[in-house]
Amino acid sequence: MKVQDELAAYDEINVTPMLDLSYVLLVIFIILTTATVQGIKVDLPKASAAPSLAKPSTKAVSIAADGTVYLDTFPVSMTELESLLRQYKAANPQLPVIIKADSQIQYQRVVDVLDLMGRLEITQLGLVTKKLVK
């Protein structure tokens, strides 16, 4: 009878150690897989030290306190601004433009420039403001 009692105690397999082992193996596999992806050695090409000839594509329209309109750093009239921006837009359809206006100018001057941007269908438009300091 003793032999049958001892055999009855081992009728079921304890799966807890097998699950622990499978979880440890899974964690090791995940760590090794991510380590091999991040650890790829690539010999990157070197860029030349010469300055790039490409000009920045963003155009800045500034309106001074006296109402003078500037394209980048050159004073222009509204008709000159329109023709120049039209040329830049033809070269780059996604032409980004930023507008910087003095806080003391008439609001109508800014509206005129914004209206011009709308007519030229310039959609990438930014308005520059000063950071509020508390």
Q: How far apart are the first and last CA of the chain?
A: 89
Confidence band of 7 (pLDDT split at 50, 70, 90) = low
Task: Provide the pLDDT confidence category of residue 119 given band limits of 50, 70 and 90.
Answer: very high
Between CA 76 and CA 70 the distance in angstroms is: 6
> How far apart are alpha carbons 25 and 113 in whole angstroms?
65
Q: Which two tokens stand for residue 33?
A: 């897989």
Query: Quick one: how far is CA 77 from the chain centroid?
Result: 34
Using alpha carbons, select from 126, 130, 132, 134 the residue that is nearest to residue 60.
Answer: 126
- Give tens-digit pLDDT for 12-54: 788 888 899 999 999 998 887 776 555 455 555 676 666 655 5
Cβ atoms 98, 129 nearer than 8 A: no
* pTM of the predicted model over 0.85: no
Q: What pLDDT, in 10s, does the model give residues 50-103? A: 665 555 588 888 888 888 888 888 899 999 999 999 999 988 888 899 888 888
